[in-house]
Chains A and B, each alone.
Chain A
């Protein structure tokens, strides 16, 4: 559960961002993120909150790990935790 999941910021509205996680768009809160976030940035989402803006030079490396994890089936604990993190964000209201 403390794995978090990276996503790409599509739109920022005050304290909420629409974030794309492999084609799934969700709303993520920006209350506790460490740096200002803009469209195009990648963030690490944990239970519906961005906890870190991922430095651009680390994005590819970070995504590669998660793509491997998402390739597993639902019985796989890491796969199911990553999917849970994506569900932890909220369905967009816009």
Chain B
């Protein structure tokens, strides 16, 4: 999955710091799913994916 995200960031470099913080972790109020399953650890992106899998980056709930 890390490579899949890296590919997206290469295509749109400014996206990187919207999705990840400066330590490389997924931001607290962003959620990443592989197909229907949310990744468990924001700082561990080395999640295996298979051809045909879909990675979703979504806005979790925040605000006020």
**Chain B binds chain A:** no
> A residues touching B (Cβ–Cβ < 8 Å)?
none
